């Protein structure tokens, strides 16, 4: 036979279990309110549009650099101009300067290749913008 004290204890335990269960059900729904998913989703079109609007200037800069690197020997910074500088340094016996310029030419040749790829990528990004309804 259970004593009155034990019965009260068990009632208390049952009550605690019910409260805990209620809290467990309520807490997730309140946590859901703090989730900023809807705000993030709402701002996605604006973020995409902003990104798309950056593309034209990036294209202009890329095109300008490609044009400059592909320029003739009189265009400062072009591959041919750099080669002319290397030849001049070698002719004057300035071997260290020639080496520095040769290294620079090697980097710049790769830069031209990378820029050409980025130019294509920018064109693809513009296409993606149009697919999302953003005209660039």
CA distance 48 to 42: 11
Distances (CA, A) of 51 to 56, 62, 112, 132: 10, 16, 24, 12
- What minimum distance in Å lies between the beta carbon of 93 and another protein? 21
Taking CB under 8 A as the criterion, which residues in 39-68 touch another protein?
Answer: 39-41, 44-45, 47-48, 51, 54-55, 58, 61-62, 65, 68
Q: Which is nearer to another protein, 89 or 125 (CB)?
A: 125
CA distance 93 to 88: 9
Q: Which is nearer to another protein, 11 or 95 (CB)?
A: 11
Structure tokens of 13? 């335990």
35 close to 102: Cβ distance less than 8 angstroms:
no
93: left (phi over 0), alpha (psi -120 to 50) or beta: left
Residue 15 touching another protein (CB under 8 A): yes
Taking CB under 8 A as the criterion, which residues in 99-128 touch another protein?
Answer: 104, 107-108, 111, 114-115, 118, 121-122, 125, 128
Where does this chain bind another protein (CB under 8 A)? Answer: 4-5, 8-9, 11-12, 14-19, 21-23, 25-26, 29-30, 32-34, 38-41, 44-45, 47-48, 51, 54-55, 58, 61-62, 65, 68, 76-77, 81-82, 104, 107-108, 111, 114-115, 118, 121-122, 125, 128, 131-133
């Amino acid at each position: 036979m259970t004593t009155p004290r034990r019965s009260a204890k068990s009632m208390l335990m049952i009550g605690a279990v019910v409260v805990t269960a209620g809290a467990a059900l309520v807490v997730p729904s309140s946590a859901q309110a703090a989730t900023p998913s809807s705000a993030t989703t709402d701002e996605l079109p604006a973020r995409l549009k902003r990104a798309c609007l950056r593309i034209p200037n990036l294209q202009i800069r890329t095109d300008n650099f490609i044009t400059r690197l592909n320029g003739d020997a009189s265009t400062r910074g072009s591959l041919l101009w750099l080669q002319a500088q290397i030849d001049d340094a070698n002719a004057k016996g300035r071997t260290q300067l020639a080496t520095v310029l040769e290294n620079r030419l090697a980097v710049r040749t790769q830069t031209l290749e990378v820029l050409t790829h980025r130019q294509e990528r920018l064109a693809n990004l513009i296409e993606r913008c149009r697919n999302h309804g953003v005209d660039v």
